[in-house]
Amino acid sequence: MKRLAYVDWMRGLACVLMFETHCYDSWLNADAKKSDGFRYSQMGGTLPAPLFIILAGVAVALVTEKLRGKGVERGAIAKQVMWRGTEVFGLGILFRVQEFVLGIPISPWTDLLRVDVLNILGISMILLGMLYWLSGLGAAAARRTRSLVLAVGAAAAVAILTPALWTTWRPRFLPWAIESYVNGVHIFDKPQVWLFPIFPWAAFAFVGLAVGFWLFTEFAKRHEGWNFFLIGVAGLAAIGLSMILDGSGVKLYGAYDYWHTSPNFFLARCGVMLVILSLAYAWYRWGLAQLGFSPVEQLGRTSLLVYWVHIEFVYGR
């Protein structure tokens, strides 16, 4: 089995689902978009963004463990992760500039400040680097455990705060360009579900970091097959718990929106990601992925380039 090829495959799956969602949205006419087939197809569009962000967290964990194994100091590791996050954030800004220039004279200048997926990927990686620095003291096993616990705690905190920061606790005192990074308000004086603010999207990166560190635990390395089976079971349990909590009637927020800001929905989406991770591992361990070249895996290895180019094919003039 190729080591962690299933991670590339998951990233490639996110690319395929992204193609489907964006192509249907851009190329189908208004009548076609009223069909049940279109509505069902858009369900797949809920997966690419959390997949990309969770896998970024997994990748950060893998990189930090690799560097730690080489004897690199905690501060240097954290600095390298944060610097990579800064690079990705800079690419996000460059992408927005490109889209604005190519869209002249139609594009409004405010599009330059839109919070897109590359922006949140970069910010999330910076936050992960900071978390690693905070938890990076002590022996390797202790560092890993602290990082895992802190990552889960950070994910929970972001998810729990999201509903309030989108509604009753909105930081209206901030300029809209800054507030947009908190809740995706942009220029509309109301958070937009199609943008990628820190709340809730950074929580997926923290979950990915926790998953990545879990893969380096002694249990995960000694019992790899059972480990991924249990990851899948944990994912199913998270989905079930989300449904139970949503149907319990207990409401902690003044404004409750299950499908966009609820921690219960976040829990369900994380569960789906864990199930996909378990199935991807099984596909590479026992499935047809062992036969050789995988186009989906190749997409995953070049996902940044694929994302950048496909936008112009789909939405460009």
How confident is the prediction for the chain on average, in pLDDT? 92
Q: What does pTM read for this prediction? A: 0.95
* pLDDT at site 119: 98
> Of 188, 128, 195, 190, whose CA–CA distance to 165 is shortest?
190
* pLDDT at site 187: 95
Do residues 131 and 147 lie in contact, with contact meaning Cβ atoms separated by under 8 Å? yes
Query: What distance in Å separates the CA atoms of residue 277 and residue 215, rounded to the nearest whole number?
Result: 12
Residue 3 has pLDDT above 60, yes or no: no
> Of 132, 121, 154, whose CA–CA distance to 67 is shortest?
132
Do residues 171 and 182 lie in contact, with contact meaning Cβ atoms separated by under 8 Å? yes
Q: What share of the chain is helix, strand, coil (3-state, %, to 5)?
A: 75, 0, 25
> Of 235, 209, 306, 282, whose CA–CA distance to 12 is shortest?
306
Residue 133 has pLDDT above 50, yes or no: yes
* pLDDT at site 1: 39
Residue 316 has pLDDT above 80, yes or no: no
Residue 33 has pLDDT above 90, yes or no: no
* pLDDT at site 158: 98
List the domain range (segments joined by +) for residue 233. 5-315
Do residues 100 and 28 lie in contact, with contact meaning Cβ atoms separated by under 8 Å? no
In this structure, of 42-51, 123-132, 174-183, the range with the lowest mean pLDDT score is 42-51
The two structure tokens encoding residue 12: 């490639």
* pLDDT at site 2: 45
Q: Find out whether the peptide bond into 48 is cis, omega within 30 degrees of 0.
A: no
Q: What is the mean pLDDT of residues 235-259?
A: 91
Report the domain count for the chain.
1
Query: What distance in Å separates the CA atoms of residue 163 and residue 256, rounded to the nearest whole number?
Result: 7
Query: What distance in Å separates the CA atoms of residue 127 and residue 291, rounded to the nearest whole number?
Result: 39
Q: Convert the pLDDT of each residue in 92-114 to its tens digit.
A: 999 999 999 998 888 899 999 99
> Of 167, 177, 65, whose CA–CA distance to 110 is shortest?
177
* pLDDT at site 317: 63
* pLDDT at site 298: 92
Return contacts of 266-270, CB within 8 angstroms, 24+ apart.
266/159, 266/162, 266/200, 266/203, 267/159, 267/238, 267/239, 267/241, 267/242, 268/238, 268/239, 268/242, 268/243, 269/46, 269/50, 269/204, 270/50, 270/54, 270/155, 270/204, 270/207, 270/235, 270/238
Q: Convert the pLDDT of each residue in 68-77 to its tens digit.
A: 889 899 999 9
